[in-house]
Structure formats: structure tokens, C-alpha cells
Amino acid sequence: MDVKTAIETRRSIRRYNDREVTEDVIRALLEAARLSPSGCNAQPWRFFIVRDEDTKKKLIEKKAFQQKFVYRAPVIFVCCGDPTAYAGKYGGEYQVEEGSVPADPAQRKKMFSQVEGKEKIRAIRDISIATGFMVLRATELDLGTSYIGLINEEVLKETLDIPERYVIPYVITCGYFDKNPPMRPRIDIEKLCP
């Protein structure tokens, strides 16, 4: 499957069958995320994976998710970004070499001062890029996924022992499914650029 086909066939899947998502498949999805770009190559993404029923029961008891289908997903990727990953990063030597940032470290630091204080936004941006890669790889492997934003971040942190400094913008459910629903309506290209 090429990328265009993965983009065209990807759907948000909320019903999964009982087929196991193997460790090798999970590693393939994580590898897709790992290879994605990030600002200053900070690679702030971290994933906590929920598959076992005991953990799911704890999340149910604490009401981590508002939508019941999330708990039935074979795999739940808790998608985290570490805002501290950007500390002291002002472009890399490869960027100096190509001329996209100044060679002088003080000038580079000054250039990047405009994003200081925006580390949380940068972490969310970069985890979003990584999960976009992951979701397309999942589509290629005949898996369904769904982004879930209705989460209780504090419950997830407490239950899964996730560091407080991490941001959790969403989780992604993942598993095999029986039927791909039709694509929902999309806005016209002309409306993308008002």
C-alpha cells in the first residue's frame, strides 16, 4: 500500500474484532512514530501502551475515558509529549551545515527565543506528527485506529505512572476490524485556503 492509498482508506474505527495485535505489530507502529520529524530533533514523544484487562479495569473504575468503546480496543496508545525535551536545543549542527540556522550559538539561541515558553505546544505538535505516521502505518497493516480526545489526563498519569511534566493530548485506540466505514464528508480544497 502506498501513502496516498493509506491516506484515502484510513478511517476512525470504533469496533474491533478479537484478533490479537502482536508485539511485532506494535513495534512496527512505534517504529513509524520514531522515524517522524520533530522540532530541533527533540523527539519528545513517549507512548504508554495499555493491553491488559487489569489495567483497563482500573481505568474503567477511575473513568479515564468517557466513551466505553475505548476500553474494548485491543490496544490503547497513550500518546505523551515531554515539553522538557526542547531544553537547550537551538537547531542542530546539520542545520548549521545547510545554512538554515546561524553558526554562532548565541545567534541560534536568540533565533529560537521566539518559541521559548511554547514547549507544550511544540510537544503536542511533534506527538501529532509522530502519531500521524503511526496511524498511516497501522492502515497499511490492516489495523483500525481512532484518536480519542475525551480523556482524563490526571487519571491516566496516576494509573499508568506517567511523569507529571508530560502532556497527553489524546490516546489512540488500535485493533483489527471487520468492516471499514465509508469516508465522512470532507470540505472542498478551495475552502482550505480562504
Sketch the domain layout of the chain as residue ranges.
Answer: 3-192
Q: Is 38 left (phi over 0), alpha (psi -120 to 50) or beta?
A: beta
Please give the chain's pLDDT, 194 residues, in tens: 999 999 999 999 999 999 999 999 999 999 999 999 999 999 999 999 999 999 999 999 999 999 999 999 999 999 999 999 999 888 878 888 998 999 988 998 898 898 989 999 999 999 999 999 999 999 999 999 999 999 999 999 999 999 999 999 999 999 999 888 888 899 999 999 88
Angle at 66 between CA 155 and CA 32, to 5 degrees: 75
What CATH number does domain 3-192 carry, 3.20.20.60, 3.40.109.10, 3.30.70.20, 3.30.70.260? 3.40.109.10
Residue 161's identity, in one-letter code, is D
